[in-house]
């Protein structure tokens, strides 16, 4: 890849993602104060000691933002990776095996997609224990339905190509065909979709946290910080706007990079020989 061919907006997107990742990885060393350390009066304005001011409990907003990047990215990335692992595997198996397997998995996927995602998540999370494992699994299952739809569409087109038929004639197993024949040729559009699903996951976990069923306090995450400080808007305090702006900036950055990837690879690469 020629670095000079990368457009400015893509660089802006990669810079935004890099800032969030650096904050998440090095939060204990970058944050000037502890995640839950009370330092003053609630909603104290910005100063030299507290560049973004204090939140509703008197905790440093900048430190909470840095720690919040860690939890927001961890949950979003974990859910997206799990969703892709599940969605891609099932969709490729359905496309390769066809028949009753394809029909059953496709109808089950259609049933899951017919249920509004947010309502389904709220009902399930309200009934199950509220912990990170349950949260990530619920998000992944809901998101895997979208991955399944795309993965199956790609796999059906690739599965009829000559090199896949040659693999079948050689007697290769289903998993070999899925991982060695179909996946390499569907990887580029799937990577672009991964970026879109990651942006959706950031918005989704922030929404759930705002509604009280996502990441639970006192753990910092951007959606929960908006919820905690929303009442300050009435009094002209901007503490809720900072994490809201961070959520918007991260999702826009991801979309800028994804748009660039989609423009670079608008078609499937040719399959490798049998």
pLDDT digits (tens, 9 = 90+) for 64-122: 999 999 999 999 999 999 999 999 888 888 888 888 888 888 888 888 888 888 888 88
Overall pTM surpassing 0.75 (yes/no): yes
Residue 274 lies in a domain: no
**Non-local CB neighbours of 20 within 8 Å, separated by 6+ positions:** 69, 73, 246, 250, 253
Neighbours of 222 (CB within 10 A): 28
The answer to whether residue 271 sits within a structural domain is: no
Q: Which residues in 190-200 are b (16+ Cβ under 10 Å) and which e? A: bebbbbbbbbb
Phi, psi of 59 (to 5 degrees): -95, 150
Asked whether residue 206 is assigned to any structural domain, the reply reads yes
pLDDT for 118: 87
Quote the mean pLDDT of the chain. 86
CB 56 within 8 A of CB 239: yes
- What is the rounded average pLDDT of the residues 128-141? 90
Is residue 272, in this structure, part of any structural domain at all?
no
d(CA 101, CA 146): 18
Alpha carbon 3 to chain centroid distance?
26
Length of the chain: 274
pLDDT of residue 140 exceeding 90, the answer is yes
Among the ranges given (13-27, 173-187, 188-202), the one the predictor scored with the smallest mean pLDDT: 173-187
Element housing 179 (H / E):
none
> What is the CATH number for 110?
1.10.3720.10
Give the number of domains in the chain: 1
Task: Name the residue range of residue 138's domain.
Answer: 3-264
The answer to the question of residue 88 being in a domain is: yes
Residue 77: exposure state from Cβ atoms within 10 A (0-12, 13-18, ≥19) = middle
CB-hemisphere CA count at 13 Å for 113?
14
In a domain, 269, yes or no: no
CA atoms within 13 A on the CB side of 137: 9
pLDDT band at 226 (very low <50, low <70, confident <90, very high): very high
Contact 205/72 with Cβ under 8 angstroms? yes
pLDDT band at 19 (very low <50, low <70, confident <90, very high): very high
Interval 142-184: pLDDT, tens: 999 989 988 888 888 887 777 777 877 777 777 777 777 787 7
Q: What pLDDT shows up at residue 244? A: 92
Q: What separation in angstroms does the CA of 40 have from each of 53, 57, 76, 238, 239?
A: 10, 8, 32, 17, 15
C-alpha span between 85 and 201 (Å, rounded): 15
Nearest CA to 251 out of 24, 76, 5 is that of 76
């Amino acid at each position: 890849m020629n670095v000079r061919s990368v457009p400015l907006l893509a660089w802006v997107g990669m810079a935004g993602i890099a800032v969030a990742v650096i904050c998440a990885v090095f939060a204990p060393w970058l944050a000037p104060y502890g995640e839950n350390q009370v330092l003053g009066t609630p909603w104290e304005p910005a100063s030299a000691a507290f560049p973004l001011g204090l939140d509703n409990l008197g905790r440093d907003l900048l430190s909470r933002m840095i720690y919040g990047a860690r939890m927001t990215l961890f949950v979003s990335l974990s859910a997206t990776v799990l969703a892709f692992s599940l969605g891609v595997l099932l969709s490729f198996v359905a496309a390769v095996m066809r028949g009753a397997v394809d029909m059953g998995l496709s109808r089950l996927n259609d049933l899951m997609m017919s249920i509004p995602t947010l309502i389904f998540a709220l009902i399930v999370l309200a009934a199950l224990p509220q912990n990170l494992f349950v949260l990530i699994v619920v998000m992944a299952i809901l998101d895997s339905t979208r991955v399944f739809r795309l993965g199956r569409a790609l796999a059906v087109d690739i599965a009829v190509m000559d090199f896949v038929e040659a693999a079948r004639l050689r007697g290769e197993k289903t998993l070999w065909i899925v991982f060695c024949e179909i996946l390499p040729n569907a990887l580029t559009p799937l990577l672009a979709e991964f970026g879109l699903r990651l942006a959706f996951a950031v918005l989704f976990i922030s929404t759930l946290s705002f509604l009280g069923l996502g990441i639970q306090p006192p753990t910092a995450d951007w959606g929960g910080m908006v919820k905690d400080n929303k009442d300050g808007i009435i009094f002209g305090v901007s503490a809720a706007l900072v994490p809201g702006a961070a959520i918007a900036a991260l999702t826009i950055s991801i979309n800028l990079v994804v748009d660039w990837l989609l423009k670079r690879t608008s078609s499937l690469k040719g399959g490798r020989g049998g």
